[in-house]
Chains A and B, each alone.
Chain A
Amino acid sequence: MIKRKTRNLIQDSVVSTVAVFIGLIIIFPLIYCFCGAFKTPHEFLTPNLLPGSFAYLGNFIEAFEKGNLLRYTVNSFIIALFGTSIRLCFSILAAYAFAYYDFRFKNLCFFLILGTMMIPADVLLATNYLTVSRLRLLNTYIGVMVVSFVSASQMFMLRQKFKSVPKEMREAAQIDGYGDISYMVNVLLPISKPIITTLFVQSFIGLWNAYLWPLIVTASSPNMRTIMVGITKLNSWEDENYQLVLAGVCVSLIPSLILFILMRRNLNKGEMDGALVG
């Protein structure tokens, strides 16, 4: 019995070591990026992985000055925050209607919203661009956010959650004189806080990381770019200053990595389903 235990222990530690080693290989690009960001331009030409010292901040300073990164970070932050809030509001309202009311065309409306998941956003780029330009929303925050207001998966997750709240709760609230809005704000949303937080974080990361649409919409006004577009403009074929680029990439990764790690830590089994919706 003891023999078997020690054998298991050895097996576990071997597997763990192998797994951690593989994990380090997988995140090697991130390690490379982090180290590269601290290299001086001269050091970057040598093949060493590690920089001379992690105290050299020249790349970050230059990236912020030359690349206008501060402005881009603010842009990204505004777009991710407001885009996510509006998207969540719309989803909550629709989920409430589907969870608590019966009405004609309910199924039709439901599948109309879920059907948006079937059409990849990339297919719609060109036409959406024309729509947004006709609405005179090019180079505005709203123009960047507007295509991501509908999230069928969020609406669906919230509807499932709302349906799991006992009906008696709403009846009791109604007897206490709560209307729909005060019931939603005072009862339903506090109960659903974990899933709403997860959806918020996820959607924030998603909007923060978006690339193609912001690139198109802000093409003619460099000041309105998001950080994800900004970091790709830090170098060119003629001027390959990769250390600057990597410094910019590091900055752009900070919020999403922090949020991601926090979210992973808070995940327990119940919220796992929510975390897996794209």
Chain B
Amino acid sequence: MKKSLTLQNRRRARTRKKVFLLLLPIIIFAVLFVYYPFIKTIVNSFSLVNAKGLIRGFAGLDNYKYTYGRKDFIMALKHTLTIAVINVPITIIITIALALLANKKRKLSPVYELLFTLPMAVSMSAACMIFKSMFSPSVGFINYFFGLKLGWYESQETALAAILILTIWMGIGFNFLLMLSALRGIPDQIIEATKVDGISPIRRIFRVQIPLISPTIFFVLCTNLVLSMMTSAPMIIIMGVSSSASATNTLMSMMFQSGFSSSDYGLAAVLSITAFSLTLGFTILSFVFEKKKVHYQ
């Protein structure tokens, strides 16, 4: 009896050691490069931070007051929210429409499915450079094709419009794939039943298919919300970062500018935390909304 107990103990100790070794690498890096910086960013936002990133004292809410009082912060916030509010619904509508179009399997299905998903493989910076060239006021294709004479990057509205078109384009591939697999996952009997009942195709789309894929739509809504709130690369690549109040900034590109061009880590931390809290808030809100509207089978 005693012997078997020690054997068991020894085996348990060996298991513990093995598990420890197996989990050690991923946990070290998770703590060092995700949790530690996250907590540090929160602490920094309440502290006096010098240009080397070292904390020089407690600042209370001074960083927040200073940031929220800046004129360029209000503009950046406005731009970020505009991108989120316009990008999310348009992406959802476009990808649902594409998925409905591609739903039935046809001979050419692989061809147009590939075409619809191809933007997925394009990186942010490559897409930015292509769109920058397409929207170029002097040699760009867009102005020529639509007969426009817009200097796209000169005013904030047109710059924002160009960036919105870019962000929507970037999202098409992945979200289309999600919508398509959701639509194809609807059991055939349900669609057949609506046909037998003589329900018109349009009614079927709005009353049967869209409610049935609402969990996927909800997922797309949440992920796109987070992505839009974090938009920064187009601003940095296309517009170039600048600290002037007239620059087309988002919260995240302003964070980039303050953190890496001006080494103002207090400001950068406040902007990060603000963007994160807003995103979290919206996500929680959509979960509340989800309980009412999303239909799970």
Interface positions of A (Cβ within 8 A of B): 12, 15-16, 18-20, 22-24, 26-27, 29-30, 32-33, 36, 44-45, 47, 49, 89-91, 93-94, 96-97, 101, 103, 109, 112-113, 115-116, 119-120, 122-131, 146-147, 149-150, 155, 180, 205, 208-212, 215-216, 219, 228-229, 231-232, 234, 237, 240, 242, 245-246, 248-249, 252-253, 256-257, 259-261, 264, 272, 275-276, 278
Contacts and interface: CB of A to CB of B under 8 A. Distances in A.
B181 interface: yes
B127 interface: yes
A249 B101 CA distance: 31
Closest 3 CB pairs of A and B: A23-B115, A209-B123, A127-B37
B232 A122 contact: yes
Given A119-B276, A120-B279, A125-B259, A19 B108 contact: yes
A211 B23 contact: no
Q: Specify which of A127, A128, A155 lies most central, judged by the most chain B CB atoms within 10 Å of its CB.
A: A127
Interface in B12-55: 15-16, 18-19, 22-23, 25-27, 29-30, 32-38, 40-41, 44, 53
Nearest to B238: A232
Contacts of B260: 126, 129, 216, 219
Nearest to A135: B32
5 contacts: A45-B139, A113-B30, A209-B124, A209-B126, A246-B130
A131 B32 contact: yes
The DSSP consensus for interface residues of chain A is: helix
Interface in B74-130: 98, 101-102, 104, 106-108, 111-130
Contact of A127 (B41, B115, B181, B233): B41
A26 B15 contact: no
Given A116-B30, A126-B269, A146-B29, A29 B19 contact: no
B169 interface: yes
B171 to A, nearest CB: 12
- Which range contains the number of B residues in contact with the other chain? 35 or more
Contact of A264 (B117, B240, B279): B117
B118 to A, nearest CB: 5
B269 A256 contact: no
A93 B22 contact: yes
Given A20-B108, A256-B121, A180 B18 contact: yes
B101 A150 contact: no
Nearest to A267: B177
Contacts of B37: 124, 127-128, 131
B46 to A, nearest CB: 14
Nearest to A251: B126
A60 to B, nearest CB: 15
